[in-house]
């Protein structure tokens, strides 16, 4: 069955430090991969997505992610974290079977130290 | 602002009651998805409608139902509510029927508290 694992429940980084959030997926075919961010009290906003082609994808707010098929991973990175990046980050894979829905990981909460 | 609207933002009700959550998709989007976010289960797909027709079903309880109207807005009906139904309910929309490629745009959610 398809699944998404985000191994880190909570990560704290200092402002200005680099960030990497891990995402591993289990999927029978070539997946479509997404990273969403959820700020407190807000809905989910798409950061970036990977469908095919270049395995390094650029997103909004300075984020990027790299698809590594051999490791079944799609890790999210940012070279320098800003305090406003504090939020919860969700990795998702689609489609869920023959359906068009997304399968989400449990999320990683990011805290930023001044 | 994703363009997806959900009402109400908050809902407090009692066990055994019935509530209706409403979602208006982005202009031009034909698919509406409902997700439930709870602390223990995370984000779970409930159901998808495409242009008024049910397209896909996920982990939706029999006590829950949904529909999509001709103007493409959608309602999620939750009945015989239990404490465990307390969660954040998200609506998302996308342009087409989705093969998983389409970007889904999420609304701000409705927070349901069942007492």
- Does B97 have pLDDT greater than 80? no
CB contact under 8 A, B101 and A90: no
Q: Rounded mean pLDDT of A20-41?
A: 89
- Does B17 have pLDDT greater than 70? yes
What residue ranges in A22-96 does DSSP mark as E strands? Answer: 24-26, 32-38, 44-50, 56-58, 64-68, 73-78, 87-94
Average pLDDT, chain A: 91
Q: Token pair of B111, please?
A: 């927070």
A59 touches B at CB < 8 Å: no
Bigger pLDDT: B65 vs A95: B65
How many other CB atoms sit within 10 Å of the CB of residue A22? 16
Helix, strand, coil shares, percent, chain B, to 5: 5, 50, 45
CB contact under 8 A, A46 and B56: no
pLDDT digits (tens, 9 = 90+) for A45-100: 999 999 888 899 999 999 999 999 999 999 999 999 999 999 999 999 987 555 66
Bigger pLDDT: A42 vs B89: B89
Q: What is the pLDDT, as a whole number, of residue B74?
A: 98
Under 8 Å between Cβ of B45 and B98: no
Nearest residue of B to residue A95, measured between CA atoms: B100
A87 touches B at CB < 8 Å: no
Identify from B43, B89, B103 which residue to disrupt to test chain A contact, counting A C-beta atoms within 10 A and taking the largest count: B43
Q: What is the pLDDT, as a whole number, of residue B106?
A: 93
The pairing of beta strand B87-94 with beta strand B110-114? antiparallel
Q: Rounded mean pLDDT of B74-87?
A: 97
Residues near B98 by beta carbon (within 8 Å), at least 6 away in sequence: A94, A95, A100, A101, B31, B48, B50, B104
pLDDT band at B115 (very low <50, low <70, confident <90, very high): very high
Bigger pLDDT: B89 vs A41: B89
CB contact under 8 A, A42 and B108: yes
Residues near A50 by beta carbon (within 8 Å), at least 6 away in sequence: A32, A33, A34, A57, A65, A67, A74
CB contact under 8 A, A43 and B94: no
């Amino acid at each position: 069955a398809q699944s998404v694992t985000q191994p880190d429940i909570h990560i704290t980084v200092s402002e200005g430090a680099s960030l990497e959030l891990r995402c591993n997926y289990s999927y029978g075919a070539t997946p479509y991969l997404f990273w969403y961010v959820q700020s407190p009290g807000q809905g989910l906003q798409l950061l970036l997505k990977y469908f095919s082609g270049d395995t390094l994808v650029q997103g909004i707010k300075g984020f990027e992610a790299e698809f590594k098929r051999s490791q079944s991973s799609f890790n999210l990175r940012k070279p320098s974290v800003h305090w406003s990046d504090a939020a919860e980050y969700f990795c998702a894979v689609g489609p869920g079977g023959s359906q068009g829905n997304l399968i989400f990981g449990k999320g990683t909460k990011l805290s930023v130290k001044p | 602002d994703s363009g997806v609207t959900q009402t109400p933002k908050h809902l407090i009700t009692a066990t055994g009651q019935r509530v209706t959550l409403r979602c208006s998709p982005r202009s031009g989007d034909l698919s509406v998805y409902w997700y439930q976010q709870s602390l223990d289960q995370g984000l779970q797909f409930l159901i998808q409608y495409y242009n008024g027709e049910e397209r896909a079903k996920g982990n939706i309880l029999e006590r829950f139902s949904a529909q999509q109207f001709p103007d493409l807005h959608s309602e999620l009906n939750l009945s015989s509510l239990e404490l465990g139904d307390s969660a954040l309910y998200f609506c998302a929309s996308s342009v087409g029927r989705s093969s998983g490629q389409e970007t889904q745009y999420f609304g701000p959610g409705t927070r349901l508290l069942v007492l």
